[in-house]
Amino acid sequence: MKIFVPLDSAAKALGADEVAEAIARAAVARDLDVQLVRNGTRGMVWLEPLVEVETPEGRIGYGNVTSDQAADLLDGRLNSLGRVEDIDWFARQTRLTFARCGLIDPLDLDDYAAHGGLVGLRRAMDMTRAGIVQEVLDSGLRGRGGAGFPTGIKWKTVAEAEASQKYIVCNADEGDSGTFADRMIIEGDPFSLIEGMAIAGLGVGATRGYVYLRSEYPDAIAILTQAVKIARQRGLLGPDVLGSGRAFDMEVRTGAGAYVCGEETSLLNSLEGRRGTVRAKPPLPALQGFLGQPTVVNNVISLATVPVIFERGARHYADFGLGRSRGTVTLQIAGNVKRGGLFETAFGMTLGEVVNDIGGGTASGRPVKAVQVGGPLGAYMPVSKFDTPMGYEEFDRQGGLIGHAGLVVFDDTADMLRMARFAMEFCAIESCGKCTPCRIGAVRGVETIDRIAQGDAAAIPLLTDLCETMRDGSLCALGGFTPFPVMSALTHFPDDFATLQEAAE
């Protein structure tokens, strides 16, 4: 009897370890031969811990299992959800990047290969550098970290640069609230990231890679470190990648709690052992990145998507999507929402469908007030903008951004002035200090919002002006995008900014 209990952090946070132990104990007590597999999560966090039992009919799921249900589970007295693949929330997805996540044992390389793993890398090994880069260009893949820059163009720049050493750096500093896709894929299918980085290495001629992984993710660090070790033992990494005669190896590095290090140039500084301050561009990291050498800096999801592009072909990937947003988007539905989790689908679904239809509305049962899309630097979208399709340009036109595709739902008890103040406060705490609009602007922003809260209407144009300065004058997205949550809160929820003033009138 094969039973799957996820080891994903979200599942563990909801008791998966205790459930796994209880099942093991109950199996011993019944003298049952149970093979317990700790898989990644299927992404349905609302059902975690989601235990699966392998049967001739397929894998049968049991949702929200508690440790005292272990005996009932083994004795067949627990109500099931049916086959996991048939659960509507799961069945409606297009899982390309996350195809294996939750299906396999994350550290079993043979299981990985049995489910399509390494096919992409083997195909890339027979291609020229230019051919590899062209494949990524043709797929239309754009950086999933937030900026949406075409991945292939970045690779092309690095591939064409002349240098004795080039690097692949994976940005796993997933600091945005409402996002957890990087963590989930690293915990649930780490070899896909390793394979993606190896393909990138072959494509641009880089022999060394680093994953800059945030310290807030200790489970992900442990799993990826183990996966790298296994990959090295099995010849997937090292001087002769899968017998190709070409070298690629990588290391996992731990961040140290600075949000700004998710910005690629501060990440590079941090990786070099410096303060994580932002570098002015140019020079582009693609030409002078880590230790001054040509460097590809890509997000986890971008790199983890590369293997499936090579496995099934660029055409197949590019066939999904909307406009210039090709392929799939890994939506992370979070916050005050009934059915939260990771939902991978082609670009193009509307915000309202995601929140109401997939997410099921709020967890509290109250009306939705706002949805912050794209992390702490993303706009608060009001319900009136729920018809906006999920796509880079589509969100841009509505004054928002998709970012890393995290959505945080708020119900009508949310105080948007307080959320705007928090955005400024967060920027003030996390500013690297390099540029004035961000370092000073954020502090003044908190003060100005406090004035508004005290009923000073004259402070509103001041805040608007300050936001313009921050947006136009900041060196990176931290100062430059903090105006998104602030101004969207002010524009779409003016009532929250006028309470005291109105009371006085």
Give residues in contact with another protein (CB under 8 A).
Answer: 9-10, 12-14, 45-46, 48, 174-180, 182-183, 215-219, 251, 253-259, 270-277, 290-291, 332-337, 340-342, 363, 372, 376, 406, 408-411, 414, 419, 422, 426, 430, 432
CB of 487 to another protein, least distance (A): 16
**Cα-based distances in Å from 281 to 6, 265, 468:** 42, 9, 21
CB of 289 to another protein, least distance (A): 12
CB of 432 to another protein, least distance (A): 8
CB of 401 to another protein, least distance (A): 15
| Partners of 59 in the β-ladder | 54
Beta carbon nearer to another protein, 141 or 223: 223
**For residue 117, what are its two tokens?**
């793993």
Q: What are the phi and psi torsion angles at 470 (to 5°)?
A: -65, -40
Write the single-letter amino acid at 35. Q
Q: Which long-range contacts (CB under 8 A, 24 or more apart) does 451-459 make?
A: 452/417, 452/497, 453/417, 453/421, 453/499, 453/500, 454/500, 455/500, 455/501, 455/503, 455/504, 457/498, 457/501
Beta carbon nearer to another protein, 139 or 293: 293
- Cα–Cα dist 389/38, whole Å: 36
Residue of 342, 304, 303 lying closest to 9 (CA atoms) = 342
Beta carbon nearer to another protein, 334 or 475: 334
CB of 480 to another protein, least distance (A): 19
**For residue 171, what are its two tokens?**
């940005």
| Partners of 55 in the β-ladder | 58
- Cα–Cα dist 441/2, whole Å: 57
Beta carbon nearer to another protein, 109 or 402: 402
CB of 77 to another protein, least distance (A): 26
Q: CB under 8 Å to 219, separation ≥6 — which residues? A: 7, 8, 9, 12, 187
State whether the Cα torsion 365-366-368-370 is positive or negative: negative
CB of 40 to another protein, least distance (A): 13
CB of 75 to another protein, least distance (A): 28
CB of 17 to another protein, least distance (A): 9
CB of 311 to another protein, least distance (A): 27
Q: What are the phi and psi torsion angles at 386 (to 5°)?
A: -70, -10
CB of 496 to another protein, least distance (A): 15
DSSP 95: -
Beta carbon nearer to another protein, 139 or 336: 336
Beta carbon nearer to another protein, 181 or 231: 181
* Contact (CB, 8 A) for 317 and 211: no
CB of 31 to another protein, least distance (A): 32
**For residue 323, what are its two tokens?**
């406009």
Beta carbon nearer to another protein, 420 or 463: 420
CB of 58 to another protein, least distance (A): 25
DSSP 212: E
- Cα–Cα dist 211/439, whole Å: 28
**For residue 281, what are its two tokens?**
């561009």
* Contact (CB, 8 A) for 97 and 304: yes
- Cα–Cα dist 151/298, whole Å: 8
Reduced to 3 states (helix: H, G, I; strand: E, B; else coil), residue 300 is helix
Beta carbon nearer to another protein, 120 or 400: 400
Establish whether the linkage from the previous residue to 283 is cis, with ω within 30° of 0: yes
Beta carbon nearer to another protein, 312 or 492: 492
Q: Residue 243 CB: number of other CB atoms within 10 A?
A: 9
**DSSP string over 441-471:** HHHHHHHHHHHHHTT-TTHHHHHHHHHHHHH
Beta carbon nearer to another protein, 139 or 269: 269
Residue of 428, 454, 460, 455 lying closest to 441 (CA atoms) = 428
Beta carbon nearer to another protein, 142 or 183: 183
Beta carbon nearer to another protein, 61 or 340: 340
Beta carbon nearer to another protein, 13 or 28: 13
- Cα–Cα dist 340/358, whole Å: 9
